[in-house]
């Protein structure tokens, strides 16, 4: 149920929202058909078209359980999926084999209209470190078959983990050919680091080529629950993305475009031409819609069920004693970008000790988890670049060549970032590795406590994956950038502006990351290549070229 007391606390805590705005907000929320209320479920529903058009997915596995997902949507591009506003019984089964002759467990779930007829089953009591097959049935319709797995036992030391991570899949700007290659890689797991959808309309003045088009409003960003649902459905219907979800379990986290570009908690980014920002109370109402649609479409556990405008997305996963993953949320709890966002000098505003990307609770949770971790590798799967990258650019108002830093990324929160890196070093957290998305470019970075101190020791390494499709075939990384950025930032070991994802092969002794690129995303089946590979040896911080 909607927890208004908690919401009130949250709003008070975040400050600045008047009682009048809060009351307006809560009364508006009360009229939203939010969380699950079980109603009479129809079990002999007849569908004119396939209700499983969005396929199946699995996610958030642990050693004995995994989330199985589907959504009934005979008309996927309609906000209501083409479903009547009534609950429907959905049967599910999980087996050891694809023919379903060796059944393991099965059950029944309710697809409720209040959650867009999405189904999130937590299949429990499974054997660790096993692959399984699953499917759903509603009325006379049967879903495609999905393949999923559990994680190894907590105390085991697995020999190997293969996983991929990706981000930024603008539907209009390119084909998802990279996911076709990921399918062939048959990874154990996929991590998605955000910008799963894009909320803004095509800008008629932009030169960006469109290979296909968003549905929905043409002259403004999406903002209602049904608009977010429709956008998710459009993206998910892509054949490669859809098949990749069915191929192995995913751990997903969002960045900003799942809701609104460069938002910080309840603060909208600065608006063009000095237009007023959406007031926080109204903005949170919109956030509730965006977060709910995200939950509905992702294979997430019940712990992530949205509460009003809040949703718990940070969590950890343990691949035996080989690797421990900390999936972060750097949008929901952050303070606003200092210096009005953008590329700015690392001044007193950027260095303020009250700037936070994680928020107090998430930071405490992260540090407690890292101290308890038995992982050979400790992985932060998150959104924005942690390297304090100095951009040697001159702004229009600048009179000097003072380097600029991205205020939306960790440098805007440099105090928290340096404190975290210092803590990792002092507490001797084993082999920290940071995975990042957001900036539509590939980077391999060595991280220091303060990256400006280039002769200080390396503490961790960061792999930044490029976009799957966002930006099309072009990039700002030209020959000049290739020369200047690594020269100004010795931590940068690799820089590339193509599209693709990163594939990782992890063993107790080494971590290898391969930068897989798709040379042309404007054609349906662009050529795939591995552009570079980097290795970290356990116990020896720093990247080595493979």
What is the binding site for Ca ion (CB under 5 A)? Answer: 256, 261-262
Please select the residue that binds Fe ion; options are 292, 466, 470, 513, rule is CB under 5 A. 470
In angstroms, what is the minimal distance from the CB of 466 to Ca ion?
15
Give the nearer residue to Fe ion in terms of CB position, either 166 or 516.
166
Give the nearer residue to Fe ion in terms of CB position, either 168 or 387.
168
Decide which of Fe ion, Ca ion, none touches 168; Cβ closer than 5 to 8 Å per partner kind: Fe ion
In angstroms, what is the minimal distance from the CB of 258 to Ca ion?
11
Q: Which stretch binds Fe ion (CB under 5 A): 187-195, 245-253, 289-297, 360-368?
A: 187-195
In angstroms, what is the minimal distance from the CB of 521 to Ca ion?
20
Q: Does 234 bind Fe ion (CB under 5 A)?
A: no
- As a whole number of angstroms, the distance between CA 151 and CA 62 comes to 5
Decide which of Fe ion, Ca ion, none touches 256; Cβ closer than 5 to 8 Å per partner kind: Ca ion
List 163's β-bridge partners, or say none: 189, 504
* Three-class DSSP labels, 134-147: EEEEECCEECCCEE
> In the block, which residue shows the tokens 């001797």?
428
Give the nearer residue to Ca ion in terms of CB position, either 261 or 475.
261
Decide which of Ca ion, Fe ion, none touches 322; Cβ closer than 5 to 8 Å per partner kind: none
3-class DSSP assignment, residue 440:
coil
Whether 376 and 430 have beta carbons less than 8 Å apart is answered as yes
- As a whole number of angstroms, the distance between CA 455 and CA 432 comes to 19
Q: How many residues bind Fe ion (CB under 5 A)?
A: 3
In angstroms, what is the minimal distance from the CB of 513 to Ca ion?
24
CA distances from 329 to 88, 361, 382, 509 (A): 33, 11, 7, 29
Give the nearer residue to Ca ion in terms of CB position, either 290 or 424.
290
In angstroms, what is the minimal distance from the CB of 200 to Fe ion?
11
Q: Does 466 bind Fe ion (CB under 5 A)?
A: no
- As a whole number of angstroms, the distance between CA 142 and CA 182 comes to 26
Please report the beta strands in 78-123, taking only residues with DSSP state E, as ranges in sequence order: 87-95, 103-111, 118-123
Give the nearer residue to Fe ion in terms of CB position, either 195 or 258.
195
Q: Which stretch binds Fe ion (CB under 5 A): 137-145, 162-170, 234-242, 525-533?
A: 162-170
Please select the residue that binds Fe ion; options are 17, 168, 380, 543, rule is CB under 5 A. 168
Q: Does 256 bind Fe ion (CB under 5 A)?
A: no
Cβ-based burial of 128 (10 A; exposed 0-12, middle 13-18, buried ≥19): middle
Give the nearer residue to Ca ion in terms of CB position, either 168 or 358.
168
Question: Phi, psi (5° rounding) for residue 215?
Answer: -90, 180
Cβ-based burial of 365 (10 A; exposed 0-12, middle 13-18, buried ≥19): middle
For residue 438 the two structure tokens come to: 């957001």
The count of other CB atoms within 10 Å of the CB of residue 235 is 18
- As a whole number of angstroms, the distance between CA 190 and CA 163 comes to 6
Give the nearer residue to Ca ion in terms of CB position, either 330 or 376.
330
- As a whole number of angstroms, the distance between CA 263 and CA 270 comes to 9
Q: Does 88 bind Fe ion (CB under 5 A)?
A: no
Q: Does 195 bind Fe ion (CB under 5 A)?
A: yes
In angstroms, what is the minimal distance from the CB of 256 to Ca ion?
5
3-class DSSP assignment, residue 153:
coil
Give the nearer residue to Fe ion in terms of CB position, either 376 or 441.
441
CA dihedral 258, 260, 266, 267 (to 10 degrees): 150
Decide which of Fe ion, Ca ion, none touches 227; Cβ closer than 5 to 8 Å per partner kind: none
Q: Which stretch binds Fe ion (CB under 5 A): 20-28, 56-64, 163-171, 456-464?
A: 163-171
Decide which of Ca ion, Fe ion, none touches 262; Cβ closer than 5 to 8 Å per partner kind: Ca ion
In angstroms, what is the minimal distance from the CB of 283 to Fe ion?
20
Decide which of Ca ion, Fe ion, none touches 470; Cβ closer than 5 to 8 Å per partner kind: Fe ion
In angstroms, what is the minimal distance from the CB of 261 to Fe ion?
9
- As a whole number of angstroms, the distance between CA 237 and CA 102 comes to 30
Helix (H) or strand (E) holding 74: none
Whether 433 and 380 have beta carbons less than 8 Å apart is answered as yes
Decide which of Ca ion, Fe ion, none touches 474; Cβ closer than 5 to 8 Å per partner kind: none
Q: What are the residues whose beta carbons fall under 8 Å from the beta carbon of 305, sequence distance 6 or more?
A: 35, 36, 295, 311
In angstroms, what is the minimal distance from the CB of 417 to Ca ion?
18
Decide which of Ca ion, Fe ion, none touches 195; Cβ closer than 5 to 8 Å per partner kind: Fe ion
Decide which of Ca ion, Fe ion, none touches 199; Cβ closer than 5 to 8 Å per partner kind: none
Q: Does 441 bind Fe ion (CB under 5 A)?
A: no
For residue 38 the two structure tokens come to: 């079980």
Point out which residues bind Fe ion (CB under 5 A): 168, 195, 470
């Amino acid at each position: 149920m909607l927890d208004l007391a908690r919401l009130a606390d949250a709003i008070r805590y975040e400050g600045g929202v008047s009682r009048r705005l809060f009351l307006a907000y809560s009364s508006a929320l009360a009229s939203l058909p939010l969380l699950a209320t079980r109603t009479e479920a129809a079990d002999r529903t007849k569908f004119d078209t396939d209700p499983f058009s969005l396929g199946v997915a699995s996610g958030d596995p642990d050693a004995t359980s995994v989330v199985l997902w589907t959504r009934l949507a005979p008309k996927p591009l309609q906000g209501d999926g083409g479903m009547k506003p009534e609950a429907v019984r959905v049967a599910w089964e999980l087996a050891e084999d694809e023919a379903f002759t060796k059944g393991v467990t099965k059950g029944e779930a309710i697809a409720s209209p209040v959650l867009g007829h999405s189904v999130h089953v937590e299949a429990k009591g499974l054997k660790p470190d096993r692959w399984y097959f699953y499917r759903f049935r509603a009325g006379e319709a049967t879903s495609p078959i999905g393949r999923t797995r559990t994680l190894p036992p907590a105390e085991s030391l697995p020999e190997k983990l293969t996983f991929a991570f990706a981000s930024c899949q603008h539907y209009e700007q390119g084909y998802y050919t990279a996911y076709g290659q990921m399918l062939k890689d048959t990874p154990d797991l996929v991590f998605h680091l955000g910008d799963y959808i894009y909320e803004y309309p095509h800008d008629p003045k932009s030169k960006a080529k469109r290979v296909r088009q968003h549905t929905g409003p043409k002259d403004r960003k999406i903002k209602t629950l049904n608009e977010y649902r429709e956008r998710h459905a459009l993206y998910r219907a892509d054949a490669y993305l859809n098949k990749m979800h069915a191929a192995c379990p995913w751990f997903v986290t969002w960045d900003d475009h799942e809701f609104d570009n460069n938002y910080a908690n309840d603060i909208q980014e600065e608006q063009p031409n000095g237009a007023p920002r959406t007031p926080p109370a109204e903005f949170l109402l919109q956030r509730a819609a965006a977060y709910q649609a995200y939950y509905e479409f992702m294979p997430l556990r019940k712990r992530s069920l949205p509460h009003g405008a809040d949703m718990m997305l940070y969590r950890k996963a343990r691949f035996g004693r080989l690797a421990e993953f900390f999936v972060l949320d750097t949008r929901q709890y952050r303070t606003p970008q200092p210096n009005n966002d953008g590329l700015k000098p690392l001044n007193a505003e950027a260095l303020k000790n009250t700037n936070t990307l994680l928020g107090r609770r998430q930071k405490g949770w992260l540090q407690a988890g890292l101290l308890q971790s038995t992982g050979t590798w400790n992985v932060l799967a998150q959104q924005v670049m942690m390297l304090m990258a100095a951009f040697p650019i001159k702004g229009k108002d600048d009179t000097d060549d003072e380097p600029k830093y991205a205020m939306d990324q960790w440098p805007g929160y440099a105090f928290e970032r340096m404190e975290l890196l210092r803590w990792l070093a002092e507490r001797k957290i084993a082999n920290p590795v940071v995975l990042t998305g957001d900036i539509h470019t590939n980077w391999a970075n060595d991280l220091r406590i303060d990256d400006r101190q280039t002769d200080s020791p390396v503490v961790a390494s960061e792999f930044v994956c490029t976009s799957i499709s966002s930006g099309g075939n072009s990039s700002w990384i030209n020959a000049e950038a290739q020369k200047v950025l690594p020269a100004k930032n010795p931590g940068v070991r690799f820089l590339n502006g193509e599209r693709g994802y990163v594939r990782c092969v992890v063993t107790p002794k080494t971590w290898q990351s391969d930068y897989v690129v798709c040379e042309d995303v404007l054609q349906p089946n662009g050529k795939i290549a591995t552009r570079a590979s980097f290795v970290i040896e356990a116990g020896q911080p720093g990247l080595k070229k493979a």
